[in-house]
Amino acid sequence: MEHIRTTKVEQVKLLDRFSTSNKSLTGTLYLTATHLLFIDSHQKETWILHHHIALVEKLALTTSGCPLVIQCKNFRTVHFIVPRERDCHDIYNSLLQLSKQAKYEDLYAFSYNPKQNDSERLRGWQLVDLAEEYKRMGVPNSNWQLSDANRDYKICETYPRELYVPRIASKPIIVGSSKFRSKGRFPVLSYYHQNKEAAICRCSQPLSGFSARCLEDEHLLQAISKANPANRYMYVMDTRPRLNAMANRAAGKGYENEDNYSNIRFQFVGIENIHVMRSSLQKLLEVNGTKGLSVSDFYSGLENAGWLRHIKAVMDAAIFLAKAIMVENASVLVHCSDGWDRTSQVCSLGSLLLDPYYRTIRGFMVLIEKDWISFGHKYSERCGHLDGDPKEVSPVFTQFLECVWHLTEQFPQAFEFNEAFLLQIHEHIHSCQFGNFIGNCQKEREELKLKEKTYSLWPFLLDDQEKYFNPLYSSTSQKLAVLEPNTVSFNFKFWRNMYHQFDRTLHPRQSVFNIIMNMNEQNKQLQKDVKDLESKVSFRLLDNFQLAFQVGRNACSHLQYYTEQLQTVNDIGPFSLPRVALGTKICIVSLENQNRCGSHSHGGRHVHPQDLSSPGWRTREAGGVIRSKSEGLRKGER
């Protein structure tokens, strides 16, 4: 809170950056320890987490106030007009401090409290078990084993403790190979295809220079090749452009010399480095933020940014990997420079193409934990969590999510999750609200005690998985067991809901997922309405049934009573048969009159059943009516 000079500013305007008429909303701006909050006159709230802020600009003073522009890592851009320059300056300086923390302990995850106890927190972290995941793949087995060589992070600090290596690879071979690889990242198993007995392995570039070699490293690659009985040769896939790899040779690094490694086939796939990707994204965002662009200018800017071209390069590399395993039964060793950026992209996407499990909600979480978090993708540096070197920031994981989104567009039945799931994960790699993406490797995360001090994102996503479920998903479709995407240029399109998700005046074409999700919500509401109506009808029918039952019971009671009275009062033999009929008629008349007034009617006055048994009454069979005794005598005398 010491960085906050002004906590509240009134009469602030929020501009619509794409409006041609400079439309704005007037409201109050609040600054808290974790968020920037704007509440407009309609009480609508706009929350911006400090960790999401990538850039804050204070523009020149205008007649309407002081402009403040905030660009966020989740591609939100807000443009405020603050009435007083002093208030704008205070907010500007506060946001500069709050958006760039100096140490991990100041990140939001260490203060975020979702009101869970320690056991619930632990269960959240235990949702993803990588040991169980490798068992699901079918390892360890006769060809692959779990190695304890890196149990104390002595061989490689950026690898996880538990690593799977060929069974015939001894510890001296592993140690020797690690010394010949950049950052000690020697070849290890990433994914095992049980049916093909082929493996995806990963490592960093060799320290070969122009002529250096390492027998232990050569033996380890040979062991990987022998671990696949279906094919004795293997591919070594260098994800860098050939020119970049050759330039690294001058620095004592480079790539494998095929003359020194038996049974390998070398393949460059040409994915650019983190600096090119950062520049490409910046160009894309500049095009997105330009007001009044024509369609042709927009597409021209998109082409010049090169972003979709880079997405295609990553996708092509993953397709090559998947085909090598499925078509040729060959194992593949993937590396880039240090093995934690492009290598993670290609290994995870290749696994996604090969294995339907990773296309489920839970499986996708496992994939991220395995190929990105555990193998040391530098999230905190790449996402700029702390105030560090801006040249280390790069949208590597964003590219991976976009590749997955393109796959969901081509194969809408193959994925259990929808676009909203990908967007939510992207939101939280920058939010620092959960501990999963904090730090640059597992060793660093253990030192920070993230499992004791922060919460895992995965249980919160699983609690809301109904929101992320793809209604088109078909888990039984055998045709989608292995995906074969088409990477022709027209299959790659601009991801509007990622880069323009916060722009209200734009009306992007709604995806099939969103349309069907809306239809499902409408169907659920209609089903609820039908159930409510059925419930009301049931209650109404029950009430009517109870009423009819009561009337019927009363009728039977009256019938019995009238029969007994007739037997007593008119017991004169020859009329016994008519009396039975008369009793029935009396019952009917009684029932009709009782429904109207609760008693019998005669000559405009009410007649109660007790009156029928008095001496002054008798019955006449003709016409089924009841007349008085005196009236009957008078008519008889005449």
**133-170 pLDDT per residue, tens:** 999 999 999 999 999 999 999 999 999 999 999 999 99
Percent of the chain with pLDDT over 90: 69
Give whole-number Cα distances, 133 to 47, 136, 213, 357, 371, in Å: 37, 5, 35, 10, 12
Mean pLDDT is lowest, of 369-383, 468-482, 493-507, for: 493-507
In a domain, 409, yes or no: yes
Domain co-membership, 47 together with 193: no
Beta strands in 527-604 (DSSP E): 600-602
Q: Which residues pair with 267 in a beta bridge?
A: 237
What does the pLDDT average to over 441-455?
A: 97
Q: Which residues pair with 26 in a beta bridge?
A: 13
DSSP string for residues in 93-105: HHHHHHTSBSSGG
Q: Count of domains in the chain?
A: 3
**95-118 pLDDT per residue, tens:** 999 999 999 999 999 999 998 899
User: What is the C-alpha to C-alpha distance for residues 343 and 201, in angstroms, rounded to an integer?
Assistant: 10
User: What is the C-alpha to C-alpha distance for residues 368 and 359, in angstroms, rounded to an integer?
Assistant: 12
**330-376 pLDDT per residue, tens:** 999 999 999 999 999 999 999 999 999 999 999 999 999 999 999 99
Domain co-membership, 454 together with 339: yes
What does the pLDDT average to over 381-401?
A: 97
Domain co-membership, 80 together with 173: no
Domain co-membership, 429 together with 496: yes
| Burial bucket for residue 17 (CB in 10 Å: 0-12, 13-18, 19+) | middle
In a domain, 517, yes or no: no
Which helix (DSSP H) or strand (DSSP E) does residue 595 occupy? helix 576-597
Question: What does the pLDDT read at residue 512?
Answer: 58
**314-324 pLDDT per residue, tens:** 999 999 999 99
**pLDDT of 435 above 60:** yes
Question: What does the pLDDT read at residue 626?
Answer: 43
**pLDDT of 604 above 80:** no
The radius of gyration of the chain from alpha carbons, rounded to an integer in Å, stands at 40
Tell which of 101, 125, 154 closes a domain. Answer: 101
In contact, 18 and 49? CB cutoff 8 Å: no
**118-137 pLDDT per residue, tens:** 999 999 999 999 999 999 99
With bands split at pLDDT 50, 70 and 90, how would you rate the model's confidence at 250?
confident
In a domain, 518, yes or no: no
In a domain, 159, yes or no: yes
CB atoms within 10 A of CB 289: 16
Question: What does the pLDDT read at residue 18?
Answer: 64
Q: Which tokens hold the place of 559?
A: 């019938």
Give whole-number Cα distances, 356 to 115, 128, 478, 512, in Å: 35, 17, 10, 21
Residue 196: closest CA among 325, 355, 321: 325
Domain co-membership, 323 together with 209: yes
In a domain, 120, yes or no: no
Question: What does the pLDDT read at residue 175?
Answer: 97
With bands split at pLDDT 50, 70 and 90, how would you rate the model's confidence at 483?
very high
In a domain, 527, yes or no: no
Q: Which of 66, 201, 336, 347 is catalytic?
A: 336
Domain co-membership, 405 together with 443: yes
Domain co-membership, 388 together with 311: yes
DSSP one-letter code for 469: B
Full domain range(s) for residue 610? 538-637
Query: Residue 36 sits in a domain of what CATH number?
Result: 2.30.29.30
For 236, residues 6+ apart whose C-beta sits below 8 A from its C-beta are: 221, 255, 256, 261, 264, 265, 266, 267, 332, 333, 335
CA dihedral sign, ordered 542, 545, 547, 553 = negative
What does the pLDDT average to over 237-249?
A: 94
In contact, 569 and 609? CB cutoff 8 Å: no
Domain co-membership, 456 together with 549: no
Domain co-membership, 224 together with 141: yes
In contact, 310 and 280? CB cutoff 8 Å: yes
With bands split at pLDDT 50, 70 and 90, how would you rate the model's confidence at 1?
low
In a domain, 533, yes or no: no
Question: What does the pLDDT read at residue 633?
Answer: 40
Tell which of 101, 127, 145 closes a domain. Answer: 101
Domain co-membership, 429 together with 563: no
**pLDDT of 625 above 60:** no
Mean of per-residue pLDDT scores for the chain: 86
- 546 vs 326, which has greater pLDDT? 326
Domain co-membership, 149 together with 212: yes
Question: What does the pLDDT read at residue 210?
Answer: 85
Residue 628 φ then ψ, to 5°: -75, 160
What does the pLDDT average to over 4-11?
A: 90
With bands split at pLDDT 50, 70 and 90, how would you rate the model's confidence at 307?
very high
User: What is the C-alpha to C-alpha distance for residues 205 and 337, in angstroms, rounded to an integer?
Assistant: 5
In contact, 31 and 6? CB cutoff 8 Å: yes
- Binding site for substrate: residue ranges? 273-274, 336-342
DSSP string for residues in 25-91: EEEEEEE-SSEEEEEETT--EEEEEGGGEEEEEE---BTTBEEEEEEETTS-EEEEEESSHHHHHHH
Question: What does the pLDDT read at residue 579?
Answer: 43
Question: What does the pLDDT read at residue 580?
Answer: 43
| Burial bucket for residue 562 (CB in 10 Å: 0-12, 13-18, 19+) | buried
- The residue with tokens 């009454």 is 617
In a domain, 111, yes or no: no
**pLDDT of 313 above 80:** yes
- Residue 336 annotated to the active site: yes
Domain co-membership, 430 together with 558: no
In contact, 570 and 621? CB cutoff 8 Å: no
With bands split at pLDDT 50, 70 and 90, how would you rate the model's confidence at 574?
very low
